């Protein structure tokens, strides 16, 4: 499975860029380190306000992996709105401890994963989402 | 922003020493994601392992995990109850083997930080290159003190 993505016009392939949105330091660090070692570029956001700032900064994200239940500002409306407008963007959300997926309409159609999850499982899910496009 | 200098090209080193340097671990504590991501990316390109956090408790979590840490790069203003100043003071007492570099966008911070770090905090906006130079000097100092 190749973490590289080819740009248009035959430009040099770049690494796929993943936005991690996770409020828990240990979970975020573990996930980010795994994905970097696997060959991805990773941007780490600690809450939805940071995620929106990163998205606005103009980076072309290839996927979002987020635990929206772990954040102090529980998925702000701006982040939900941004994701809703991009239904084709692969997003994997961590389900809350009760096993329920996020209830916001923007999130219901997204792929969700239950805790405890293994990062290789997340990686496989990401590849499956990219392949399905 | 690309790393302009690779840290392990300075001086005369053996291959083993170069390997050791690539594993230098930096914890960056910074609450502005745009600053944090660009500095972290720059330092990674320079060959450092960079871990990102936003509050003092992230330092404790990292230490408890057993990961070896060499440098903490902390902004004076952090999330949570503990400031970068307080964290720096605490690290000096409890982990004298870890160097702390404070950063600040606040005027007068240099005076407040007097005695906490030799050169005072790096004032924003700073270029990551200057920061990397300071990290390299600190690592070099540690290496030399181990030899002597």
Closest-approach residue (CA) in chain A for B50:
A33
Q: What is the pLDDT of residues A23-44, one digit of tens each?
A: 999 999 999 999 999 999 999 9
Nearest-10 Cα torsion for A56, A57, A63, A64: -60
Distance CA B22, CA B49 (A): 7
Triad A75, B65, B46: Cα angle to 5°: 80
Among A residues 10-39, those touching chain B with beta carbons less than 8 Å apart: 25-26, 28-29, 32-33, 36
Q: What is the pLDDT of residues B121-146, one digit of tens each?
A: 788 778 889 899 999 999 999 888 87
Structural domain harbouring A63 = 4-132
What pLDDT is attached to residue A73?
63
Alpha helices in chain A (DSSP H): 25-38, 48-56, 77-84, 105-108, 119-132
Total structural domains within chain A: 1
Q: What is the pTM of this model?
A: 0.84
Any B CB within 8 A of A44 CB: yes
Q: What is the CATH number of the domain that holds A73?
A: 3.40.50.2300
Provide the shortest C-alpha distance from residue B33 to chain A (in Å): 6
Q: How far is the CA of A131 from the CAs of A11, A66, A94, B73, in angstroms? A: 21, 20, 21, 39
- In chain A, residues with a C-beta closer than 8 Å to the C-beta of B54 are 25, 46
What would the mean pLDDT of A60-70 be, rounded to a whole number?
A: 86
| Domain at B13-147: CATH code | 3.40.50.2300
Nearest-10 Cα torsion for A8, A88, A74, B73: -20
State the ipTM, two decimals: 0.85
What would the mean pLDDT of A77-92 be, rounded to a whole number?
A: 84
What would the mean pLDDT of B98-114 be, rounded to a whole number?
A: 71
Distance CA A109, CA A113 (A): 13
What pLDDT is attached to residue A81?
82
Query: In chain B, where are the structural domains located?
Result: 13-147
């Amino acid at each position: 499975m190749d973490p590289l993505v080819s740009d248009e016009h035959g430009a040099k392939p770049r690494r796929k860029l993943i936005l991690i949105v996770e409020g828990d330091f240990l979970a975020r660090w573990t996930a980010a380190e795994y994905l970097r070692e696997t060959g991805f570029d990773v941007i780490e956001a600690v809450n939805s306000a940071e995620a929106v700032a990163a998205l606005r900064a103009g980076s072309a994200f290839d996927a979002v992996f987020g635990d929206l239940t772990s954040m102090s500002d529980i998925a702000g409306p701006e982040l939900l709105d941004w994701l809703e407008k991009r239904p084709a963007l692969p997003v994997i959300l961590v389900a809350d401890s009760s096993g329920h997926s996020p209830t916001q309409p923007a999130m219901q159609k997204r792929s969700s994963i239950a805790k405890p999850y293994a990062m290789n499982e997340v990686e496989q899910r990401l590849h499956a989402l990219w392949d399905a496009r | 922003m690309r790393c302009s200098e690779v840290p392990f090209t300075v001086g005369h080193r053996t291959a083993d020493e170069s390997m050791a340097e690539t594993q230098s671990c930096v914890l960056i504590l910074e609450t502005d994601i745009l600053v944090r991501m660009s500095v972290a990316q720059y330092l990674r390109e320079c060959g450092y392992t960079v871990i990102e956090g936003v509050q003092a408790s992230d330092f404790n979590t990292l230490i408890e995990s057993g990961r070896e840490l060499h440098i903490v790069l902390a902004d004076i203003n952090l999330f949570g109850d503990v400031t970068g100043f307080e964290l720096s003071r605490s690290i000096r007492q409890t982990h004298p083997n870890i160097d702390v570099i404070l950063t600040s966008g606040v005027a007068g911070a240099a005076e407040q930080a007097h005695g906490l770090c030799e050169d005072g905090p790096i004032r924003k906006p700073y270029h990551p290159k200057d920061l990397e130079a300071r990290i390299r000097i600190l690592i070099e100092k540690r290496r030399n003190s181990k030899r002597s």
